[in-house]
Amino acid sequence: MVAELVREKFDLDSRLSRTLGKLLFRPGELAVEFSRNRRASYVSPIRLYLFVSILFFFLLSITTDVVIAPVDKAEVTRELESVTETDVDRLLRQLDVEQRQKVAQILEKPETSLARLALLQLAKGVGDRSEELEEVEVYVFGRLVDAIYEPASLLDQLVDNLPIAIFIMLPVYALLLKIFYVGRHRYYVENLVFATHLHTFAFILFT
């Protein structure tokens, strides 16, 4: 077992260096090697993608922060002149109890508060609608209130869900490649491998 573990480790190290070398400097050739079924010398595209994406999103989660810019008081006053209590009341009717409490706390902030301005702009958007809001719109407005109340939580949710969303969209992206390059006679799996390598390269670059 120890011998197998050591063998696997050194084999993985050589495959990793070979894979990264081609991925960073000759990425097209790496995709071609997989198309020619020369896969034993390289790390699996999915394994490499998962490792690099986990590293990227971990670094993103610990280095990203929300910065609130100062607001000009005169500009805030101009923006709020057209917002009425009716607009706010209509917004409140679309929200649940917890979100209404958040709205009340936001409205208690100073007039120059960016959160208060954003909330009143949201209320104006709801008030300008002549027809009733659809269920999806009600959900979106509720989430916007949550984001205005605590911007950092929205960023945390985005960082948490973005890796899953990108991974799920990989097959869709590969399908688009298949459609756009239908005359190249490439199999769908070849496009999927290429898409995986492309996203892996992007994660390495962003890291």
Specify whether the CB–CB gap between 123 and 85 falls below 8 A. no
Q: What is the pTM of this model?
A: 0.60
C-alpha to C-alpha distance for 22 and 19, rounded to whole angstroms: 5
Q: Profile the chain (207 residues) by mean pLDDT over runs of 10 residues.
A: 62 76 85 84 86 86 64 57 68 77 78 72 69 73 77 73 87 92 87 92 91
